[in-house]
A and B are shown apart, each in its own frame.
Chain A
Amino acid sequence: MRNFKMPVEFVRDAVAGNNETLRNDSHHQTNSTAHKKAFPVLSFNYDHVRKPFEISLWILLALLMKLGFHIIPTVSNVVPESCLLIFVGLLVGGFIKAIGEEAPILDSKLFFLYLLPPIILDAGYFLPIRAFTENMGTILVFAVVGTLWNAFFIGGTMYGVCQIRGAELASVDLLSCLLFGSIISAVDPVAVLAVFEEIHINELLHILVFGESLLNDAVTVVLYHLFEEFSHAGTVTVVDALLGVVCFFVVSLGGILVGAIYGLLGAFTSRFTSHTRVIEPLFVFLYSYMAYLSAEVFHLSGIMSLIACGVMMRPYVEANISHKSYTTVKYFLKMWSSVSETLIFIFLGVSTVAGPHAWNWTFVISTVILCLVSRVLGVLGLTYIINKFRIVKLTPKDQFIVAYGGLRGAIAFSLGFLLTNSKMKYMFLTAIITVIFFTVYVQGMTIRPLVELLAVKRKKENKGSINEEIHTQFLDHLLTGIECICGHYGHHHWKDKLNRFNKTYVKKWLIAGERSTEPQLISFYNKMEMKQAMMLVESGNAAKLPTIVSSVSMQNIQPRGPARRRAIPSISKSREEEIRKILRGNLQKTRQRLRSYSRHDLFIDPFEDNVSEVRFRRQRVEMERRMSHYLTVPANRQETTPVRKVCFEPEHQVYTYDDSESPRGPTVQPNPIPPDAVSLLSESPQRPNQSGAQRAKVPDEQEEQDQLKLSRCLSDPGPNKEEEGDGSFRS
């Protein structure tokens, strides 16, 4: 039988579309049944899915590794994730080499175009603007002057080292050394993020090191291209040096300009997306990516462009897009940056095993030592100068952390990889990899115990306090006013002018609808209330809330009027107490962890265990139904203030109305309440002996007249009216 060959021929024919063969086959078919084709039930064709298959496999491997590390808690406490990932990369690379395959190297194009942008965008979009601008001068000095100092010091000294006879390095000339210095000198944002995320130091140090790592990209780009051009030419003249300086300004400012333009475009586009909410996140991503690519076209600093785009876009986009889109943007950015980072480190490990190396003891050792020395000297010297201009001086402890946090990473490797001169390329690459390993492993692992040893101030937890926001604004205005009185055009004066310009002109153009005139305090307040509402939804079983529960309620702070008509309690005192306790436990929180600094977890999900799936799902469906209006239409936030009431379980009877008060008299009609009504008091749904379910559905107008507009809690009935409201979330 020709069964065995038939499937192959069939496939070939199908692919080739060979009429003649087909005709032959059909001819055969009509002729003899003995030659009937067997339909290929199972065939194997790997080639045409090879590329996406391998990419997916790599990503999956990376993520499984990440998963593994977090399941084993002991290891992840001691060793930062980046170290583990590089180690895995080494293993994988070794494995691939062992089976004889060609290992994929961290291709520069792959790195710069696909792996790096998500991380930078994530960093730039969520950059803490206030801290960044307050320390801008310091950051710029570290980034520009510090990197220049590093590059020239390392380059120059390496040249001196190369001149030592017996080191076989005589072939390395000054320009190559300077080129090498410029590659190795830059602090790497990916590595810094990976390590600093886990140690949670205070915001100032974090933003100093991180900001420096972002802004030094311009310097690196200029120096790299400068020395690479010149290493071909052979000599450097003064004119070239001057052109280099000009180039630096062009690169950095141009990058920022490109980013800002795309950012404004993105903000403007988001103004019109109210009818197509689903694609809103895509605009954010695409405009930012385009900004990066456009900057790269002109050899401008892509990183600075990306940062400028994110920073520029964010306030306006966030005012325009729906809450779901905002969550999507946040999640996607964090997801992509997480994956990218993991892949980068794994590939770094693989490339170490794969690439050809040229080990030269003198070169490598001296590189490592020089990197450390130049970093320390640079930080010390610059801080001495900077402290003369700072109000909050940098203590020696701070300086140590800043110096110690100067990690090198994959950017240096990729830049080294781009070198064309293969003679010294491998030696350089080896040295770069050694430095990277040293900084990531030695410095990365020891920084956490050092931080604890030196008792460096940690990040303070309590963000999102409305009082702090009020006082921050108050202080801004106060200082601006005092500056006016002093007659001094200072920092605050210009910031105030910028804010006013922003409010009167820019916001009108870029923000849709009424949000454009919303003061910052109100948007902050709305955001906080929103977050709290979401938290309440998520934590159906609120007994698990790991927060300080305070029993202070609205009633305690309302001034007592003389003629307050209290509702008549019709249940026992003890029952009342119980209910109050339940309400307080469920509804009040004084500490909210709104923005966790770690990039990899967003919501502290208090909903851990012990809640039945069914009830949770029911609650969620109900909540979402109610909240969907609010969530997708943020523009109507101005009309009424947030009113949130709790819906009681039908079995609970808390109060009845005083006759004169209630709009519908004493008899509260028993509404046909389904037994699975939404309840935020999930503690006590099973109280069968509470009979006489009474629930008053309060009309919405009544709520508006209520004095308790705000309810962080609806603890007890308010002073005037009584609500057993149904939960209606309105914004």
Chain B
Amino acid sequence: MGALQSSPGQHEYGDLAEKTGFSFRQIGVLHTRFKQLSHNEETLQRDHFNEIPDLACNPIRAQIVGAFFDRRNFRENGEGTVQEIGFEEFLVVMSHFRPPSLHMTQEQRESVRREKLRFLFNMHDTDNDGTITLEEYRHLVEELLSLSETLEKNTAKSIADAAMLEVASISMGHMEPDEFYEGITFEHFLKLLNGFEIESRMNIRFLRMDTTTLCK
């Protein structure tokens, strides 16, 4: 869709478009943004992200920035983190937030769901062991509440404990008192957020982006 622009590296957009599902126009806009963020360099580093002023007041900015440098999100089945990313990786991470297209089969919809939930899971599972442990969950809740000045350490812990208990109850059902619930695996995570309708909520409207209104 969209008119073809006469921008220089357009032939390479074809690959990217196929890989990520963006349209040429969207890729063009994102490329402009990428160059803006990286000060016309080829790669982005973490510092570049920290320069965005609006991002500074976001309570989970560390995790968001981390997600860009997490190889698990590059769809190459890689692991670990990198120090800098190129435009392709930037685009791939962004593609997780594309809205689902109208005509999708149930299977496609399911795979989109899994993909988006996998992205969220990776954001929570910082040590990359495949489970979200209680510590990681507590950390998550603390970050969410970090904007509030009067935060009690124990409140965050209780909330995280309650949430963990709920997950365990939903996933495991019956547990002996000696058993220990290791953490939330990806399957449990899927089950937990079953009714969450993530495929319609985790989206950015890339359609209406206009280069002139880009915020700093």
Interface set of A (CB-CB < 8 Å, partner B): 387, 391-393, 460, 462, 465-468, 470-471, 473-475, 477-493, 500, 514, 517-519, 521-522, 525, 529, 548, 550-560, 580, 588, 590, 638, 640-642, 709-710, 712, 715-716
Contact = CB atoms under 8 A, between A and B. Distances in A.
A642 B161 CA distance: 13
Contacts of B149: 517
A392 B58 CA distance: 27
Contacts, number: 200
Main secondary structure of the interface of B (DSSP, over half): helix
Nearest to A481: B64
Interface residues of B, number: 74
Contact of B213 (A465, A479, A489, A548): A489
B117 to A, nearest CB: 10
B99 A391 contact: yes
A709 B60 contact: no
Contact of B165 (A521, A529, A554): A554
A712 B97 contact: no
Contacts of B201: 475
B164 interface: yes
A468 B193 contact: yes
Contact of A466 (B30, B163, B202, B213): B163
A486 B33 CA distance: 7
Contact of B215 (A470, A489, A514, A559): A489
A641 B179 CA distance: 27
B159 A488 contact: no
Interface stretch (B10-18, B70-78, B79-87, B138-146): B138-146
The 4 A-B pairs of least Cβ separation, nearest first, read: A487-B214, A550-B169, A710-B158, A481-B64
Contacts of A521: 141, 144-145, 159
Interface in B177-216: 177, 179-181, 192-193, 195-196, 198, 200-206, 208-209, 213-215
Given A490-B205, A517-B150, A554 B161 contact: yes
A590 B52 contact: no
B152 interface: yes
A406 B180 CA distance: 54
Given A525-B162, A551-B175, A500 B57 contact: yes
Contacts of A480: 58
Contacts of A470: 140-141, 144, 159, 163
Nearest to A710: B158
Given A481-B61, A560-B180, A590-B169, A486 B155 contact: no
B54 interface: yes
Q: Which one of A470, A482, A517, A554 has the highest number of Cβ atoms from chain B below 10 Å of its Cβ?
A: A482
B55 A641 contact: no
Contact of A709 (B37, B158, B195, B205): B158
Nearest to B116: A475
Contacts of B157: 709-710
A556 B179 contact: yes
Interface in B118-161: 120, 123, 133-135, 140-141, 144-145, 147-152, 154-155, 157-159, 161
Contacts of A554: 161, 165
Contacts of B176: 551
Nearest to A639: B152
A282 B173 CA distance: 45
B179 to A, nearest CB: 6
Nearest to A708: B161
A229 B201 CA distance: 47
Nearest to B157: A709
B168 A556 contact: yes
A467 B166 contact: yes
Interface string B28-66: 001001001100000000000100101101111100100
Q: Which one of B54, B123, B209 has the highest number of Cβ atoms from chain A below 10 Å of its Cβ?
A: B54
Contacts of A487: 33, 36, 209, 214-215
Given A474-B140, A550-B174, A462 B148 contact: no
Given A468-B196, A471-B196, A477 B60 contact: yes
A487 B209 CA distance: 8
Contact of B159 (A466, A483, A500, A514): A466
Contacts of A514: 150
B27 interface: no
B109 to A, nearest CB: 12
21 contacts: A391-B200, A462-B195, A468-B196, A471-B120, A473-B144, A478-B64, A486-B94, A487-B36, A487-B215, A488-B206, A490-B205, A518-B148, A521-B144, A521-B159, A550-B174, A552-B175, A557-B181, A559-B135, A709-B157, A710-B157, A710-B161
